[in-house]
Structure 1
Amino acid sequence: MAKPNKTILKWAGSKVRIIEQLRPHLPKARRLVEPFAGSCAVMMNTDYERYLIADVNQDLIDMYLVIARDPDTIYSIGFEKLILSIQNDSKTYYGTRDAFNKRHKSKYDQAWFFLYLNRLCYNGLCRYNKKGEFNVPYGKYKNPYFPEKEIISFIDRAKNADIVCLEWQDTLSLVDFDDGVYCDPPYMGSGFTQYHTAGFSDADHEALAIALKDINDIQGNSITVSNSPEATELYADLGFTIHEIDAPRTISAKGNRKPAKEIIAVLEGVK
């Protein structure tokens, strides 16, 4: 079996490690709508005709748009790869983080800052404080990896994608009758919800689940959701079929790297 395609970013909860378990439960559709794009692991490892890739994190989406749409991206890879290798120190990291948070640079510069921070920050976390400032500390990696192959692969796959910065509610409003929907929200009870200043509460989880059920009832779209076991009752009560899987931990919990339980909740489409 071929190895799954890796992603540009290191990402908490990336679906690369479980893509073979997830793939059979993904919607069968012409276009896949993802309101929580994250690392784009699903787009990088599936072959839908079209994608609607959305996320509320403006920095994340701006980076994807620069990489996918800027004709100079491919020529910058070598330079940025060099910068990552020779400026791997705490002084440069925190200086770059401060410059990134001041947001005085162009979207092009901000995109590469974001990638630099992701590759050198602790555990590849994406976390902000209430002021909207990226606040993950330096990760002290000896040999950081620059995702050159992943960037080139992303550019190719993004040709079939519309990439937008939207709240999940607005993204779901764009779902057409023949679309499939895959949602990978911050997991219920995970603690890793501050990838955007608004966070994601239990009330948000309930609102999302009900909205997805409504879309299935009204339009007949196939729906797939990844979440933690804490969300089992919520989705089961709405009629979702629940599949439980073991997923490798991408962030250690007090040194514990044993597999964690996850659920895949599915509503079949109505033709």
Structure 2
Amino acid sequence: MKKKRAFLKWAGGKYGLVEDIQRHLPQANTLVEPFVGAGSVFLNTDYDDYLLADINPDLINLYNLLKTNPQPYIEEVRRLFTSEYNQKQAYLDVRRQFNESKDIQFRSIAFLYMNRFGFNGLCRYNKKGGFNVPFGSYKKPYFPEAELEFFSEKSQKATFICAGYKETFDRVRPESAVYCDPPYAPLSHTANFTTYAGNGFSLDDQAALADIAERTVAKQKVSVLISNHDTTLTRRLYHGAKLNVVKVKRTISRNGAGRNKVDELLALFQPPAE
């Protein structure tokens, strides 16, 4: 099957790691993803069904809209992919309306528009919950119609929930596999740590996720795969897992010379063989 791209730009998206993740994901009936993000793993695997979660309600509302009523949504959002809306003031107006609105349909349309027209496809909110990514100044942002349609078709096998990782793990049942793509641990103590959807993912969360993964494996007899930076900290946290190292290209500065390959871990927690 040809590799499928997500319709959203996404920091830390797993499109480039899909083949490695596929190799280490175990067979199961259901794939559970507590950090679904843009959904590259979902789009490029073939399970009977999926439980896909994220703490960002705008993301989950958009996915549910695409699942239940895709064509009106696609036609409406297409209207914003014009030169008229590819201007800073137009972008700022849509962003302001988004932050003032509670209408799910409008927020979902604006969310995709801002994802494609905003700077670097970032998804960032301030402490008051306002989307605050600046205008991106792209020549002609791509309208991902084919990607939207494929996502909608594939989503018929999925249940999307707005939930944290602890709540999502509570819903894991036997015959499942779990893939976790949390906000990554910092490469160093001085590294900036990204605030995601208004909530920081702390080092305590990193430890709690590893602990919940181990407990779920023991209780439900399922396998849990976690991706993260390869650091002393993550190796300690995942000491009970089978560790696989993969190299991933990361942009660490604005110029081309800043594109380096860094090591990432794929940590697989598995129940003991009977």
TM-score, normalised by the number of residues in structure 1: 0.93
Alignment-mate amino acid for residue 198 of structure 1: N
- The structural deviation recorded for 1:78 is 4.1
Partner of 1:245: 246
Q: How many residues align?
A: 265
SS in 2 for 1:145: coil
- Root-mean-square deviation (CA, aligned residues, Å) is 1.6
Conserved 8 A contact 1:209-1:234: no
Could you tell which deviates more after superposition, 15-24 or 184-193? 184-193
User: Which digits, 9 at most, give the CA deviation of each residue in 1:11-64, with x for residues without a partner?
Assistant: 011111110121111121100000001001111000000000000111110111
How much has 1:259 moved relative to structure 2?
A: 2.1
1:233 to 211, 232, 235: 235
Q: Is the 8 A contact 2:66 2:73 kept in 1?
A: no
Alpha-carbon distance in structure 2 between the residues aligned to 1:128 and 1:183: 22
Give the Cα–Cα distance (whole angstroms) in 2 for the partners of residues 125 and 112 of structure 1: 16
Tell me the secondary structure at the aligned position of residue 267 of structure 2: strand
> Does the CA contact (< 8 Å) of 1:232 and 1:242 recur in 2?
no
CA distance in 2, matches of 1:122, 1:234: 35
**Structure with the larger RCO, 1 or 2 (CA within 8 Å, 6+ apart):** 1
- Give the superposition deviation at 1:79: 4.5
2:220 — aligned with what? 219
Residue 268 (structure 1) aligned with residue 270 (structure 2): yes
Q: In structure 2, what residue type is equivalent to 1:186?
A: P
CA distance in 2, matches of 1:76, 1:236: 41
Determine the C-alpha separation between the residues in 1 that align with 2:199 and 2:241.
27
Deviations 1:235-264 (A, max 9, x none): 342x11111111122x54343122222110
Deviation string for 1:58-89 (max 9, x for gaps)? Answer: 1110111111112xx31442452242123111
2:28 equivalent to 1:19 = no
> Counterpart in 1 of 2:40?
41
The residue number in structure 1 matching 2:145 is 148
TM-score between the two structures when normalised by the length of structure 2: 0.92
Secondary structure of 1:248's aligned partner: strand
Could you say which residue in structure 1 is the equivalent of 2:30? Answer: 31
Find out whether 1:128 has 2:130 as its counterpart: no
**C-alpha separation in 1, matches of 2:112 and 2:262:** 27
Gaps of 5+ in 2: none
State the partner residue of 2:78.
81
Per the TM alignment, residue 153 of structure 1 is displaced from its structure 2 partner at its CA by 0.3
Amino acid at match of 2:25: L
Give 1:241's aligned amino acid.
K
User: Structure 1's 192 and 92: CA in aligned 2 closer, same or farther, altered over 3 A?
Assistant: farther
Using the alignment, how far apart are the partners of 1:47 and 1:93 within structure 2? 37
Determine if the alignment matches structure 1 residue 176 to structure 2 residue 173.
Answer: yes
Q: Which SS does the other structure have where 1:259 is aligned?
A: strand
Counterpart amino acid of 2:197? Answer: H
Contact 1:206 1:234 in 2 (8 A): no
d(CA) in 2 for partners of 1:174, 1:153: 26
Contact preservation (8 Å) 2:218, 2:271: no
In the aligned structure 2, how far is the partner of 1:140 from the partner of 1:52?
36
